[in-house]
Amino acid sequence: MRALVNYYARAGYGRHVQTVCGEALRSRPGDPTLSFWRAFGLILEGSYSEAIAQLESLMERREISLACVAASIHAHKMARIVDEESVDALEDRMHREESDANERALLACANFYALAGGPDSWRAKGMAERALRMARGDAFDAKTLLGWIELAPEAAGKDDDDDLGLGAPPTPGGTTDSDRERTQKAKRWFDEVLDADEGEGHLEA
């Protein structure tokens, strides 16, 4: 289910994201992660006020709190009229919570930044790398996310002369040295997951 949500989110299909999460919530009512991604679907559709209201109700759930704060900041900044006071308060909260975030919270927030794009997308890579350092075991989720981040130039650390948008993979074969390097980095991350016995069924890789 998570792979399907990420697939639709990368494609910008906000309605599909909401539908998938809504259907899953019927059997898992109140699931904070599903509720978060349903709110993200609203952001993709431009329903910023509704998304913010849903995100506010989830902010006390530790595993998703950091991502909710980041998504709320993003939604406020995308709105036609920006509530600067709310943005300032949320950014202060982001600063406080990020330093104490656990692996799961960092991964959720990094995934949000990678999928949302925009001026803060560069934060995805640092959060995913921090989650990887905190991980116990094989860290498949962190490694897979880092692979996808490499295929999203904006989140990976976009070159000044690279005008590809977030989520658009490098041209097959790579048109520049930077494209080829990112593609190879992504492949190495995915291979680390797929080459492990337990990682063969990881759909995201």
Average pLDDT over residues 142-164: 69
Yes or no: say if 153 and 103 are a contact pair by the CB < 8 Å rule: no
pTM: 0.84
Model pLDDT, residue 178: 80
pLDDT tens digits, residue range 93-106?
Answer: 999 999 999 999 99
Task: Indicate whether 16 belongs to any domain.
Answer: yes
The mean pLDDT value of the chain amounts to 87
Rounded CA-CA distance 165/81 in Å is 25
Rounded CA-CA distance 67/138 in Å is 23
Task: Indicate whether 41 belongs to any domain.
Answer: yes
Yes or no: say if 26 and 41 are a contact pair by the CB < 8 Å rule: no
> What share of the chain in percent tops pLDDT 90?
69
Domain coverage including residue 182: 120-205
Which of 32, 66, 100 is the last residue in one of the domains? Answer: 100
What confidence tier does 155 reach under pLDDT thresholds 50, 70, 90? Answer: low
Rounded CA-CA distance 161/163 in Å is 6
pLDDT tens digits, residue range 50-73?
Answer: 999 999 999 999 999 999 999 999
We report the CATH number of the domain holding residue 69 as 1.25.40.10
Q: How many domains does the chain have?
A: 2
Structure tokens, 156: 């990976």
Q: Residues 127, 168: one domain?
A: yes
